[in-house]
Amino acid sequence: MSFAAPLFLWYFLPAVLLASWILPHRARNGVLAVFSLGFYAVGGKEFVLLLLALIAVNYAAGLAIGALPIRRRKAVVVATVVADLAVLAVWKYAGFASTAVHSIAQGLGLGDTRIVSLALPIGISFFTFHHLSYVVDVYRGVRLPMRNPLTFVTYIAMFPQLVAGPIVRYHEIADQLRDSRRDRFADFAEGFPRFAWGLFKKVVIADSLAPLADAAFAAEDPSTATAWIGALAYAGQIYFDFSGYSDMAIGLGMMFGLRLPENFARPYSAISVTDFWRRWHQSLSRWFRDYLYVPLGGNRGGTFRTYRNLSIVFLVTGLWHGAAWTFVVWGAFHGVLLIIERATGLGRSDRWAGPRRAITFLLVVFGWVLFRAESLPAAGKMLQAMIMPWHGWSVAPDVAMLLSGHRVALLVLVLATVLLPATWVTGRVIDGLEETPRWARRSLKAAALVLSPYAAMVAVAGTFSPFLYFQF
């Protein structure tokens, strides 16, 4: 179920809000748990049983880790982590691995091997990372295990963040889940403008750019103009789609008295790729830092080990996003850029900020081509057309047909995001988390509320597309 779907906007959300308002404060987690499982069942169907099984395993593991002597805890946490990762590996990567084995076998003349094809459970990468965060945080003693099973279900399955984040580490929200005595109507008043702002970004901006990106990437022999239009359209689509979803998730969490972590901080204003990853999908970066990069040794142990650890993290980052070689190469591309910046000191310098911001944006856009393309050869065609201008400046007919004045204005908006102040994060301004004048916050809140009816009408018209990160 999409946050931008009429079913969610007109039926599900009012129902869960009404239930949380009329029932006692202490029932909040139970209401969220029940409605969240229903939310997942609508889109995930039978995979809700897989989610429930994993919830049961990790809940029991948390209690066992909390009860056992320190010397015996490690075996439990290792077994649970292996089990969680094994489920993720089977459902998400079995097809990719079997296809690779099939290609190798054919290349060596060994005949055909079986290719596995499994449906991907919605949000499996996200709820797997929540489970891992829980058992590791309990093992480390950062937080105590949850005794109430409904509270644990709320943490794992909470519908605002269940299928596309933000990724909420257990220690970030454990205390909030135990505190349900809040002013519920004040929470709603605080959260709704942030939700409305995200809805507008998704259905009005991202979904308008989506057909343009799709048409350009579908071109068999793209010209330079077609390739650049497609790349810029996708850069705008993925940013406004994913940041819009994150704004909606954070706003929904606030409506129920829960503060989810921020996920974006003006990423296209970054002056280096290192800076970009401090601003893009921040909750994922923090998760990999705490549970992979630092346990591997981080930047301790010398230059070689630091570069090795960065390489591992970004290869895993690419694979986490999708089981395809395009994602692996995209992750490797970013990993190589970060290593170069670390070796040259560019990742720590703020000199020549203007030119470096433009260069960083171009590098990120090149990366998005790898991310979006159906295959590496298709990505190669797009990148070649972008870099070599003799591919021509005529626009493919299918793309030209979609280049309305509205979409041209949105492409200009994508470029304009590079010029905006790096410290101005609109969602945080709406929530009063940035040091900005009161009039600025009130103006943005008013704008979000005024724009929300139009965004809702667009959603009702059925012109929205699924959130991009649902596939991960």
**69 falls in which pLDDT band (50, 70, 90)?**
confident
**48 falls in which pLDDT band (50, 70, 90)?**
very high
What mean pLDDT is predicted for residues 382-409?
89
The pLDDT of residue 425 is 74
Please name the residues in contact with 214: beta carbons below 8 A apart, sequence gap of 6 or more: none
Closest residue by Cα to residue 290 from 173, 167, 177 = 167
Distance CA 156, CA 170 (A): 9
What mean pLDDT is predicted for residues 395-420?
89
The pLDDT of residue 118 is 85
Residue 431 pLDDT exceeds 80: no
**465 falls in which pLDDT band (50, 70, 90)?**
low
pLDDT above 90: percentage of residues in the chain = 62
More confident site: 182 or 403: 403
Residue 464 pLDDT exceeds 60: no
pLDDT above 70: percentage of residues in the chain = 94
What mean pLDDT is predicted for residues 400-414?
90
Please name the residues in contact with 360: beta carbons below 8 A apart, sequence gap of 6 or more: 270, 271, 272, 273, 275, 276
Residue 331 pLDDT exceeds 90: yes
The pLDDT of residue 316 is 95
CA angle 83, 89, 95 (to 5 degrees): 150
What mean pLDDT is predicted for residues 270-291?
95
The pLDDT of residue 259 is 92
More confident site: 322 or 106: 322
The pLDDT of residue 433 is 61
What mean pLDDT is predicted for residues 289-297?
94
pLDDT in tens, 373-392: 999 999 999 999 999 887 78
pLDDT in tens, 175-221: 999 887 778 888 888 899 899 889 989 988 999 999 999 999 999 88
Closest residue by Cα to residue 210 from 29, 399, 18 = 399
Distance CA 429, CA 17 (A): 25
pTM of this prediction? 0.91
Residue 322 pLDDT exceeds 70: yes
For this structure, is 25 an active site residue? no
Residue 40 pLDDT exceeds 60: yes
Catalytic residue chosen out of the listed positions 281, 321, 334, 391: 321
Write down the mean pLDDT value for the chain. Answer: 89
pLDDT in tens, 250-273: 999 999 999 999 999 999 999 999
